[in-house]
Amino acid sequence: MSTNQLDKKSQAWSALFSEPMSELVKRYTASVFFDKRLWKADIQGSLAHAEMLQVQGLISAADFAAIQKGMTQITDEIASGQFEWKLDLEDVHLNIEARLTQLVGDAGKRLHTGRSRNDQVATDVRLWLRGEVDEIGVLLTELQKALVDVAEQNADVILPGFTHLQVAQPVAFGHHLLAYVEMFARDAERMVDLRRRINRLPLGSAALAGTSYPLDRERVARTLGFEGVSQNSLDAVSDRDFAIEFTAAASLLMVHVSRLSEELILWMSQSFGFIDLADRFCTGSSIMPQKKNPDVPELARGKTGRVVGHLMGLITLMKGQPLAYNKDNQEDKEPLFDTVDTLKDTLRIFAEMAAGITVKPEAMERAARKGYATATDLADYLVKKGLPFRDAHEVVAHAVKDAIAAGVDLSELPLDKLKAYNPAIEQDVYEVLSLRGSLNARNLLGGTAPAQVRAQVARHRARLA
């Protein structure tokens, strides 16, 4: 076997084969043009494996030094775009190994001792995803901070709260935004939790059954910063639960982004007119000169479908697979890569967009004045005067019906008219019927009173610091 055999022959395993692969099959089975993205993790994993092989006396110190030297050069070549990726070499692993062997000879050929691409790729994907999850965590914090800032500035701004998209009760705009901060906080928690299950080392499982070499798996785990080693080789090479979990968490995160997007789109419409988004997040129309379209939230809403699609793809990928590794698993990468890219871009752009939002408090308050948003407050007022809640509800329904017929708000009915519904109603009712009074009254944990919004802002700031 010549040093460059892996590079020269068409496939790494071809001694057994009597005919070459067709170009179509090569293209169909190769993954290098997408999995080359794992190159850093692949080299990192190989170096940790090689170091352990040397400590265990399975390769010499000279071999390990040669491997290190070769990998340094390969790193430079890839980072500078000089590295020649070859379709014939199928995937990132064989491309790097072939180049290593070309550079350092037999030492390169010893690297794969006690290892298979099956445990290698599982290790690479875990290493790579762990890093991405950490970056996503940072981006989630940034987005939450941006939303908390806008929430604080708008702790006193009133807009109608909706149920069924019908005006329900007045809420603070800050309170509304903090609802999304709660969602993103849970998303961040989920990322931290699933990271623990990403962070286990498959290396040492070899192809499927483990290996006969005395590998020190714990040592490799320590070198690579894994929290533990996998406990069953069959499971380790075939498990993609971590990828599914991640994509599920990503899907839920995108659903939150999508709900926020839907609101931004509605709020920016002429019918609502609650907010404006900075021009740089919008586009115009090629035919209608007056248009400014909220493209970014619309696309985020659309891309949510794409990420949820990746979750469906990954979970379906696994459903019929027998143990252990199957080539199906190669199909885990593109959905995972695209999920990460979509998520990171979306989080970045939303943090920026949130910071640049223009709030229109008058329009919000005007809308809250429509739709009898303080009717519940009048019922609560009567309850405090001794009426059972169900009776109070009935009384107020009559008042609202009459007010609708007269085309006025409850607060515009004179006191003698209001007293006709119930004699307990007095002058102080007008404070209760005001939007601000309604808001301030909800001063309990989790409520929309501006004092509560400020308390929550402080809690979030401490949490996100």
- The binding site for ligand ARG (CB under 6 A) comprises 31, 35, 91, 117-118, 121, 325, 327, 329-330
Q: Quick one: 329 or 339, whose CB is closer to ligand ARG?
A: 329
Q: Say whether 317 sits in a helix, a strand or coil.
A: helix
Beta partners for residue 169, in sequence order: 161
Tell me how far, at minimum, the Cβ of 356 lies from ligand ARG, in Å: 41
Q: How far is the CB of 338 from ligand ARG (least distance, A)?
A: 16
- Rounded Cα distance between 119 and 206, Å, is 5
Return the number of the residue (159 or 201) whose C-beta is nearest ligand ARG.
Answer: 201
For ligand ARG, the closer CB: 31 or 247:
31
Please provide the DSSP assignment of 371-420 as one string.
TTTTHHHHHHHHHHTT--HHHHHHHHHHHHHHHHHHT--GGGS-HHHHHH
If the CB atoms of residues 121 and 143 are measured against ligand ARG, the closer one turns out to be 121
285 is catalytic: yes
Residue type, 24: L
- Cβ proximity to ligand ARG: between 329 and 440 the closer is 329
Phi then psi dihedrals of residue 299, to 5 deg: -65, -40
288 within 8 A of 234, measured Cβ to Cβ: no
Whether the CB-CB separation of 373 and 435 falls below 8 Å is answered with: yes
Answer whether 334's CB lies under 8 Å from 34's CB.
Answer: yes
Which DSSP category does 204 fall into? T
461, burial (CB in 10 Å: exposed 0-12, middle 13-18, buried 19+): middle
Q: Rounded to the nearest whole angstrom, what is the least distance from the CB of residue 444 to ligand ARG in the complex?
A: 54
- Strand 275-276, strand 358-359: pairing: antiparallel
Token pair of 134 as six digits:
């950490």
Residue 65 CB, nearest distance to ligand ARG (Å)? 27
Find out whether 307 and 254 touch, Cβ atoms under 8 Å: yes
CB of 1 to ligand ARG, least distance (A): 20
Which amino acid would we find at residue 279?
D
The rounded distance, in Å, linking the Cα atoms of 115 and 50 is 10
* Catalytic residue chosen out of the listed positions 22, 164, 212, 286: 164
Element counts in the chain: helices (H) and strands (E) = 21, 6
Q: Which is nearer to ligand ARG, 114 or 294 (CB)?
A: 114
If the CB atoms of residues 327 and 390 are measured against ligand ARG, the closer one turns out to be 327
For the bound state, the minimum distance from the C-beta of residue 116 to ligand ARG, rounded and expressed in Å, comes to 7
Place of tokens 């705009």: 173
Q: How far apart are CA 58 and CA 220, in angstroms?
A: 14
- In the complex, least distance from residue 154 CB atom to ligand ARG, rounded to whole angstroms: 48
Token representation of residue 56: 């265990």
Residue (88 or 91) nearer to ligand ARG, CB: 91
Radius of gyration of the chain (CA): 31
Contacts (Cβ under 8 Å, ≥6 apart) of 308: 251, 254, 255
**Least distance from C-beta 136 to ligand ARG, angstroms?**
22
- Rounded Cα–Cα distance for residues 359 and 374 (Å): 23
Residue 206 DSSP class? T
Active-site positions read 164, 285
